[in-house]
């Protein structure tokens, strides 16, 4: 990863940790496809019957896209954190491990919402969905906190402004996902919509950020 060695004297030591994390992200994001199941037609296999069955699965398509986009943004944030870090200590490793555990969990609440979105149980399914992202956000905050405390793991070139910006960027998820968890018991669609808003917002702030430094 020669592109990461911009840091003059300090050498990056997180190569294998990054590539293992990338592997977990890549597998978890790809396993979301199991959410898309080929419908089993009970009657005749006509074009109309298949079309009806495929359209009826719209919650699967919706949650697949939302979860995919969210994991992708999470991967980009992970990448963003690791770009500022040149070595790992144990708290950082633990926080990263917790984060990876939670990333691999994402296909589970995704299936849960896909299966129950059109039933009365949607409220609980969407609360679990948003709740998992609350916990993931906590793990991100832990990871970032482990990286910045006493600046021990950060590359020398990282400015206080960059640290402050990323801190705000990551903390934002906590209240929003928390709100989405609560709102799920009122209206599951609003909760899902709020989760989607968040990754769209992150994508755009990410865009703003990328104008300043290199992506």
Q: Which of residues 15-54 bind its own copies (CB under 8 A)?
A: 15-20, 22-33, 36, 38, 41, 44-47, 49-51, 54
Contact positions with its own copies (CB under 8 A) in 79-118: 79, 87-90, 93-94, 97, 100-101, 104-105, 107-108, 111-112, 115-116
Residues 172-211 interacting with its own copies (rule: CB under 8 A): 203, 206-207, 210
Binding mask 55-84 for its own copies (x = CB under 8 A): ---------xx--xx--x--xx--x-----
**By C-beta, is 17 or 163 nearer to its own copies?**
17
- H or E element in which residue 210 lies: helix 188-212
Q: Which two tokens stand for residue 178?
A: 């928390």
Looking up tokens 């592997």 gives 23
Residues 123-142 touching its own copies, rule: CB under 8 A, are 123-125, 128
Q: DSSP label at 8?
A: T
CA atoms of 98 and 101, how far apart (whole Å): 5
Token representation of residue 88: 């790992």
Cβ atoms within 10 A of the Cβ of 5, count? 11
140-179 residues near its own copies, rule: CB under 8 A: none
CB of 91 to its own copies, least distance (A): 8
Answer for the pair 200, 137: CB distance below 8 angstroms, yes or no.
no
Q: Which is nearer to its own copies, 173 or 188 (CB)?
A: 188
CA angle 37, 41, 46 (to 5 degrees): 115
């Amino acid at each position: 990863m020669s592109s990461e060695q911009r840091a003059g004297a300090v050498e990056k030591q997180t190569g294998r940790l990054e590539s293992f994390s990338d592997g977990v992200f890549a597998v978890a994001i790809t396993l979301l496809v199991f959410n898309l199941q080929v419908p089993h037609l009970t009657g005749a296999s006509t074009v109309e019957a298949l079309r009806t069955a495929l359209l009826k699965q719209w919650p699967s398509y919706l949650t697949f896209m939302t979860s995919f986009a969210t994991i992708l943004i999470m991967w980009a944030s992970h990448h963003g954190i690791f770009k500022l870090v040149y070595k790992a200590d144990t708290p950082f490793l633990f926080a990263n491990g917790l984060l990876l555990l939670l990333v691999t969990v994402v296909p589970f609440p995704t299936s849960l919402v896909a299966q129950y979105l059109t039933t009365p149980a949607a409220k609980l399914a969407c609360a679990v969905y948003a709740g998992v992202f609350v916990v993931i956000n906590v793990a991100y905050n832990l990871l970032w906190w482990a990286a910045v405390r006493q600046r021990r793991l950060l590359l020398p070139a990282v400015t206080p402004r960059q640290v402050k910006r990323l801190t705000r960027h990551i903390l934002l998820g906590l209240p929003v996902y928390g709100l989405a968890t609560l709102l799920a018991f009122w209206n599951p669609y609003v909760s899902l919509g709020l989760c989607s808003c968040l990754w769209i917002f992150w994508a755009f702030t990410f865009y703003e950020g990328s104008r300043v430094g290199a992506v």
